[in-house]
Amino acid sequence: MSRKIDKDIEQYYADRSYEYDKTYLRPERQKDIKKLHKLLKNLLSGHIVLEVACGTGYWTKTIASISKFITAVDINNKVLQIAKNREIPSGKVIFVQDDVYSLNKIQNNFSAGFAGFWWSHVLKSKLKGFLALFQSKLQSDALVVFIDNRRVKGSSTPIIRIDNDGNTYQIRKLEDGREYEVLKNFPTKQEILETLGNKIKNFKMELLKYFWLISYNIQK
């Protein structure tokens, strides 16, 4: 079942690739989006970054403006083609098609890791495994940053079902009318801390109106 959910998400983002960035243009979210750009620039300045589930490269472009180098990974070739066509300084980013649950093509030489709007698409039963793999590709004491959505009444897409493990799902509709059931979790701070465990330090959480950001350093 988990593989089917992963494939459904993969297909959804492939089919949504050319309309995905419109989500960042919603007028009521502009203040938060601007704040996220600022926070990411402050946190990841000067780092060699591993970005997983980079999608269309929207956040990759922001990070590239201040980081030393980024390796940006996504399983979806369709979104990677969009990402590769962004105006990003030459020699600052390499895009790699790879599965975030294996990262077979990635070596462990990064001073920071980043994922935008990915935590919420990972089954609760797979989160610890994903984090262990992701963090294994980073240097000791590396910085890790995640950003994702908060559930906001009247703004977030409604939850249509909850499975036996507490994962929540939405119906997402594309501009052409196609609909997908998509896994979308909204973890609390306590749930995030319990998932991360005790091998981290310097944990910080920034709660905006529509989004959250966490940062921490790993301890190997």
Q: What is the pLDDT of residues 85-142, one digit of tens each?
A: 999 988 999 999 999 999 999 998 899 999 999 999 999 999 999 999 999 999 999 9
In a domain, 169, yes or no: no
pLDDT at 7: 72
| 164 occurs within a structural domain | no
Q: Is residue 170 part of a domain?
A: no
Residues 6+ apart with CB under 8 A from 107: 137
Buried b / exposed e across 58-75, counting CB within 10 Å, b at 16+? bbbbbbbebbeebbbbbb
pLDDT tens digits for range 3-59: 666 776 778 777 776 787 888 999 999 999 999 999 999 999 999 999 999 999 999
What is the reported pLDDT for 1?
57
Per the structure, the complete domain to which residue 146 belongs is given by: 2-150+188-218
Backbone phi, psi, residue 178, to 5°:
-65, 145
Are 129 and 160 spatial neighbours (Cβ–Cβ below 8 Å)? no
Q: What is the pLDDT of residue 175?
A: 87
The reply to whether 158 falls in a domain is no
The verdict on residue 11 lying in a domain is yes
Establish if 91 belongs to a structural domain. Answer: yes
Across the range 133-154, mean pLDDT stands at 96
Pairwise CA distance, residues 167 & 1, whole Å: 13
- Residue 20 has a pLDDT of 78
Average pLDDT over residues 142-168: 96
Q: Is the pLDDT of residue 160 over 80?
A: yes
Residue 66's CATH number:
3.40.50.150
DSSP, collapsed to helix, strand or coil, labels residue 140 as strand
How many structural domains are present in the chain? 1
Domain for residue 178, yes or no? Answer: no
Residue 19 maps to a domain: yes
Q: Read off the pLDDT of each residue in 173-188 and give the average, rounded to a whole number.
A: 92
